[in-house]
Structure 1
């Protein structure tokens, strides 16, 4: 009851022009549903992130599931309540990446006292909780001032946020939201035309998480979700959950040798028929999964055998220190850096232009009466986040965050002044990340994190721990601010209160601190991280770059390939950016450098299953979606696949902790099955 009264006290007024007292926004029901969905997404993202380095905001999925749940309530949720559900769920579900549980913390556990001068750092529950608290709120307080600039003034499209707003409008029989934006770089309004195919594509009319959701068959779209949505979600959820649980007791199901036992055992060529991976491929889209599988073929069918047979990587193929997998990691790192940095150049130039041009205009108008600036804000002050809250929150998050980082890692880990610089850098990088997300539907946090590592290699040279931690602090702010800005764009189009969304973000982030920390601690207790079940590939990227910046040593002959591939994908990234901004049709088929590099990081089993999902998405979209009234049904099914395996990952974790092992290791002659001893 106390919590309910507190929520009612926080709830913003609903008498604003777009709303009425009959349209509630910030309610206990909406928050609780959002937290429940967010906690499920959090476990799913933590599991998937530790397996493959990939997570999803699941914004459209959160809105869909929230809507389906609300149909079972005596009083269905209003569109604005669904916005709170989605906002709270996203803030809760993305903490595994924002707080570095899928990359930074595993990287610290890989430190070697002999090589790095410091022993491995394994944080206990309290220490991990303190680390999460130190970086959980900085990005939240960055969101309100950035909203004013990029959503209200510049009116950037934020394709995923726009698609989510369109979906909510369709489901609630509302008029399509006003999506008119400045025609920046040839951007076209969201329409019923065939959309782009991947989140990486610039100015894609609708993101991969939701294709053309608003068209001439809105009634059919609504009917699919209302009448068939639960059926599709339940059977897809059950299928993924059942297969995953069966694979826990019979691990060979998820390690099928596709080219024989020898290639599976010695070269890691096996197949994992995970429906969750298939669902991810559906969400990612066909061009992205093709890029990922091209990288997989080049990395694991060409470069891995080449490095092994040439003696450059003499260890076992899967060894990340002296094996082929560790050798191709460096080529992957070069591709990711080149692609991310080149794709950032247009965004940085645009940002500079947007700030410099008004500044020149201001000075040219000195002595003359300056024209009055038009205020595009559509909300009243009582529905906005006060500036005083933002200033106090930013200052408090920096001060308390710096103190907590020092408390967790000590003065030798990273000096407080360096942590403060990390927060300041995170604020600057957030502007770049948010603008990139707003225009391209891609938040390039991997590239921004590497920029921070480069700077901190100069600020605190030789200190690998400081390099990783400070880079994580900067990346966290950029990633969280970008993800939350998508939600604010959705709320802006559906006329939800920014203050109510701000509350949802704070509550979601606060709850996720405990949920993510507890989940990660349980995973560490039950599994080796990084290890066979959860390789945490991005941890090696963080640590590898930190080591490279410190001593400049690379494995034998990897530098040549690293430079060559970096140059190729730097050029491809520039070409892709150029073609996409001019709406050239071939732009979506130019390989994505980040997706190509992820194909290097993960074993072939991860990429093959995602390609199956990408093919399903392509065939359905081109042959059946228009007849069936859109592709919402496919989004629902993909969501069920991903969430089903996410739930069973919790069950598997509990079984592992309780000592319940596999039922049979039959067929696991290659020794790659999780839970089965090597032969």
Structure 2
């Protein structure tokens, strides 16, 4: 376990890298972890980076086998990197549209893609992102003002498990223990006894203030931090505790006098408009400010530098990906070829923007990229829903996969990995993710028209894409005056808070509410925001009392809670689907 303890990782000799076992381990983990992100994306609109989980599990499994069989070759550092590249590429497939533009397209047009065309589409936009990342690699990795924090976190974990192997084993035990507890709660709630959703009063229950027994939400709360968690609580109180009762009193939202239980679907039809405008305007404002602040020039130092010798292979890959994306836009959505071609330069430009922002801040602005491309196509082709959603999906999907691979390239540069082999691993990952992700989405949501934008499946990203497409298609004039004012107020505070968050010093900005979380709370049921806020508060309390324990195990335990519930939920959906055959 300590074989690399005294050796700089960038000088470690590559013994095995793109081995069959590394690829298969990443593939298996990708198959297991991709459903978690699809499930979470439809529940709360957020996903989890799976690189660190893949590193821990792959290391633990193969080191255990090596101890039992002395003839078993050691699990090398470079195999670990390939393993996490495959697994994280598969799990990040949701940026290809599965939890946002694709369901929004179905809701607005009534057309549902068949499984194979949907897999091909999700793969194609992700495949384009891989080749954009390849050509961005030398420039961005040699810019030492871009730190790629998420990639560095993966690198630190990689270093840690090879220098302190026993610690990795302990974290794996915590991961699996948390997953088993979460899975057991979900199984009991789904198959044995429906755990009641408690609310203090019937009125609060109608406003969605119930206690949701979801350990997945607690886990996400442990990851998002105290600032985001408290903002979700604040947003729930503003939207569902303050604005929603006022809307009912004013008669702007009509509920049946005898309505029982949470009235999420009725209320969110109004509340999503100020929430979406807040999120869109704040993220676009912050994106513009951060891009302006991002360092543009590299400085010379002694760290490894990325090089890109000419090779025809990447050029062929880029051309093939462009042909695939353009052809599928025309074949699946009836988009004119010239309009489909126009999505390519926009996707490349926005992928560059996203990669620079991720390099500087660690925050992937995929939501902002999607909205910016929707606005662009709304101006170029007003009133055309397929173009607005699916051409914009090209930019969002390419940017998502590009930023994921750029983080992997950052790790690979530090340990002396082979970039071409990382690209192969990424391609394998997105193929697996496309197949598994689409299968999981179709199993979870067989009827998007009736299942999405409900309390069970709030799908906030779907609501956002749908709302922007509707506004750009029909114009603000199609909305009531009250909703237009709500959009204006939300946009005003979004621009204000987005600018302050980016311009103020960090010591002051951390006291501002998180604009993304504030807007999200208008689209999620109050119960969801409450449970995530509870997870954030509990994690913060533990960190104040036992900081070392939180630093070691908080993220690992949270990841286990997320994986346990989501995998069990997906398994239950497949079980119900097969029972009906």
Structure 2, unmatched stretches of 5+, are 1-8, 67-72, 257-261
Matches of 1:146 and 1:431 in 2, distance apart?
A: 7
- Do the aligned partners of 1:169 and 1:494 also contact (CA within 8 Å) in 2? no
> Is contact 1:271–1:604 with CA below 8 Å preserved after alignment?
no
Q: CA deviation at 1:315?
A: 4.8
Q: Aligned pair 1:305/2:245, yes or no? A: yes
Alignment of 1:455-534 (within 5 A): 455-525=376-446, 528-530=450-452, 531-534=454-457
* Bigger proportion of residues as helix: 2
Q: 2:123 touches 2:430 (CA, 8 Å); kept in 1?
A: no
Match of 1:79 in 2: 77
Query: 133, 138, 148: which one pairs with 1:143?
Result: 133
Task: Please name the residue that 1:362 is paired with.
Answer: none
Following superposition, the deviation at residue 259 of structure 1 comes to 1.9
* Counterpart among 389, 393, 418 of residue 339 in structure 2: 418
Using the TM superposition, name which of 559-568 and 280-289 deviates more: 559-568
Counterpart CA distance in 2 for 1:155 and 1:586 is: 23
Matches of 2:540 and 2:239 in 1, distance apart? 25
Corresponding residue to 1:392 among 316, 320, 325: 316
The equivalent residue for 1:367 is none
Residue 451 (str. 1) matches residue 451 (str. 2):
no
Say if 2:393 is the partner of 1:401: no
8 Å CA contact retained: 2:179, 2:561: yes
- Which residue does the alignment assign to 1:549? 472
For 2:22, the equivalent position in structure 1 comes to 30
Kept in 2, the 8 Å contact 1:433–1:482? The answer is yes
Matched, 1:233 2:233: no
Instruction: Report deviation, 1:502.
Output: 1.2
The whole-number CA distance in structure 2 between the counterparts of 1:659 and 1:535 is: 26
Alignment of 1:161-560 (within 5 A): 161-173=151-163, 223-226=166-169, 228-250=170-192, 252-253=194-195, 255-264=196-205, 266-315=206-255, 318=263, 320=265, 323-350=266-293, 354=296, 378=304, 386-410=310-334, 414-525=335-446, 528-530=450-452, 531-550=454-473, 551-552=475-476, 553-560=478-485
Q: How many angstroms apart in 1 are the aligned matches of 2:465 and 2:309? A: 35
> Partners in 2 of 1:621 and 1:333 — Cα distance?
33
The alignment status of 1:563 with 2:488, answered yes or no, reads yes
Q: In 2, distance between residues paired with 1:607 and 1:333? A: 16
After superposition, where does 1:620-639 map in structure 2 within 5 Å? 620-626=542-548, 628=549, 631-639=551-559
Deviations 1:318-356 (A, max 9, x none): 465xx32111100011101221111012233246x838x
Residues 106, 536 of structure 1: 8 Å contact kept? no
* CA deviation after TM superposition for structure 1 residue 506, in Å: 0.8
Shift in alpha-carbon separation, 1:314–1:577, aligned structure 2, 3 A: same
CA 1:386–1:39: 2 relative to 1, 3 Å: farther
CA shift at 1:377, angstroms? 8.2
Distance 1:466 1:290, change over 3 A: same
SS state at 2:445 partner: helix
Change (3 A) 1:70 1:617: farther
Contact 2:264 2:455 in 1 (8 A): no
After TM superposition, give the deviation of residue 406 of structure 1 in Å: 1.4
1:511-544 deviation per Cα after TM superposition (whole angstroms, max 9, x unaligned): 2121112222222338854155323222221121
Instruction: Flag the 1:315–1:462 CA change in 2: closer, same or farther, 3 A.
Output: farther
Q: Displacement, 1:54?
A: 1.3
Distance (Å, rounded) in 2 between the aligned partners of 1:161 and 1:304 = 41
Q: Which has the higher contact order (CA 8 A, sep 6+)?
A: 2
Counterpart residue number, 2:497: 572
Between the two proteins, the alignment pairs up a number of residues equal to: 557
Correspondence 1:611-622 to 2 at 5 A: 611-622=533-544
Distance 1:70 1:231 in 2: 15
Which residue among 505, 515, 521 is the counterpart of 1:599? 521
| Aligned-partner Cα distance in 1 for 2:150–2:103 | 30
Deviation at 1:505, TM superposition (A): 0.5
Q: CA deviation at 1:250?
A: 4.9
1:368-392 CA-partner distances (Å, limit 9, x unpaired) = xxxxx969883686xx685432222
* 8 A contact 2:233–2:533 mirrored in 1: yes
Matched, 1:648 2:572: no
TM-score by length of 2: 0.90
Structure 1 range deviating more: 240-249 or 24-33: 24-33
Answer yes or no: is the 8 Å Cα contact 1:108–1:120 preserved in 2.
Answer: yes
- Cα RMSD for the two superposed structures: 2.5
> Residue 467 of structure 1: CA displacement?
0.6
Q: Is 1:93 the equivalent of 2:91?
A: yes
Query: Alignment partner of 2:247: what SS?
Result: helix
Q: Deviations over 1:388-432 (max 9, x none)?
A: 32222121111121112211122xxx2222122112111101111
Distance 1:17 1:92 in 2: 26
Q: Please tell me whether the aligned partners of residues 162 and 493 of structure 1 are also in contact (alpha carbons under 8 angstroms).
A: no
User: More displaced, 330-339 or 561-570?
Assistant: 561-570
In structure 1, distance between residues paired with 2:306 and 2:415: 15
Q: Which residue matches 2:259? A: none
Alpha-carbon offset, residue 286 of structure 1: 1.4
State how far apart, in whole Å, the 1-side matches of 2:509 and 2:485 are. Answer: 28
In structure 2, relative to structure 1, the CA distance for the partners of 1:380 and 1:591 (3 Å cut) is: closer
Question: What's the CA shift for 1:654?
Answer: 2.4
CA distance in 2, matches of 1:636, 1:348: 32
The reply to whether residue 585 of structure 1 matches residue 510 of structure 2 is no
The answer on 1:110 being equivalent to 2:78 is: no
Q: Structure 1 residues 421 and 121, CA, compared in 2 at 3 Å: closer, same or farther? A: same
The DSSP-based 3-state class of the residue aligned with 1:451 is: helix
- 2:37 matched residue in structure 1: 45
Deviation by residue 1:255-312 (Cα, 9 ceiling, x = unmatched): 5122234432x22221212111111111111111112221121111111111222112
Check whether the contact 1:99–1:136 (CA below 8 A) recurs between aligned residues: yes
Distance 2:368 2:292 in 1: 16
